[in-house]
Amino acid sequence: MQPIELSHWEPNPENPSHLRYVGQPVGEEVFAELKQRLEATGLMPDEYFVIGREWENGRQIPKGADVFVTTDYGESEGIYLDGYLKWYEDGGPVTKSFFTGKTIGETGYDLDRIFLISSAITKAFHGEGSHNEQAQGAILMLDAEEKDALEAVLAKQEQTAEIQSLIAKLNGEVPQQTRTQPDMMTEMKL
């Protein structure tokens, strides 16, 4: 998936192999695209996810702005996810709040989930990595009921090392390493 753009570019008719800058998107447009991506992947904060008032009513994203996200427990309840825009103006940095999300829960599961949402937001603006490659692994966030259902299905499977490793991970255990290299102490010929 292509990163969400914080500036608009189009092919340059005078030089088709280059793009030319054509302007800035408005904050509401960028936020709507981000919200749609989070909803499509089931990664919305459960309490709320709102744009900062400063970015409503057609205000454009500043040229050269970038997005970064912070996550932390709230003072009274829940866990907050705050997104900021940072750009340079008159030779100095400017940082403004762009959006806020909140979850009601305060468990370790809730904290892990909000950090997963933060990661998804960062990837939405910056891609999957330096070469925009797809992830090689997968991270699942399962509630207790989903975890139990998956564990029950896995328990019915042939108990291969991979299945046992998955069950161990579901239970918060460190899975046993499968032996991939010869044990040098027992197989070394003298």
pLDDT by residue for the chain (190 residues), tens digit each?
Answer: 789 999 999 999 999 889 999 999 999 999 999 999 999 988 999 999 999 999 999 999 999 999 999 999 988 889 999 999 999 999 999 999 999 999 999 998 899 999 999 999 999 999 876 544 555 666 666 777 877 888 888 788 888 887 777 777 777 676 655 444 444 444 444 3
Q: Are residues 59 and 109 in the same domain?
A: yes
| Number of structural domains found in the chain | 2
pTM strictly above 0.85:
no
Give me the pLDDT at residue 27, please: 96
Q: Are residues 27 and 86 in the same domain?
A: yes
Provide φ and ψ at 127, rounded to 5°: 85, -175
Q: Per the domain annotation, does 27 fall within a domain?
A: yes
Q: Are residues 120 and 159 in the same domain?
A: no
Whole-angstrom CA distances from 29 to 8, 33, 55, 61, 174 are 12, 6, 10, 10, 44
Give me the pLDDT at residue 137, please: 60
* Distance (Å, whole) CA 138 – CA 121: 16
Give me the pLDDT at residue 181, please: 46
Token duo for residue 77: 């309840």
In sign, the C-alpha dihedral spanning 132, 136, 139, 140 is: positive
Provide the residue type at 111 as one letter: L
Q: Are residues 102 and 167 in the same domain?
A: no
Token duo for residue 1: 């998936």
Domain of 33 in residue numbering reads as: 8-126
Q: Are residues 25 and 107 in the same domain?
A: yes
Q: Are residues 86 and 174 in the same domain?
A: no
* Distance (Å, whole) CA 166 – CA 53: 44
Q: Per the domain annotation, does 87 fall within a domain?
A: yes
pLDDT tens by residue, 96-145: 999 999 999 999 889 999 999 999 999 999 987 654 455 566 666 677 78
Q: Are residues 119 and 150 in the same domain?
A: no
The neighbouring-strand residues paired with 88 are 93
Give me the pLDDT at residue 131, please: 47
Give me the pLDDT at residue 1, please: 72
Q: Are residues 148 and 122 in the same domain?
A: no
Q: Are residues 23 and 92 in the same domain?
A: yes
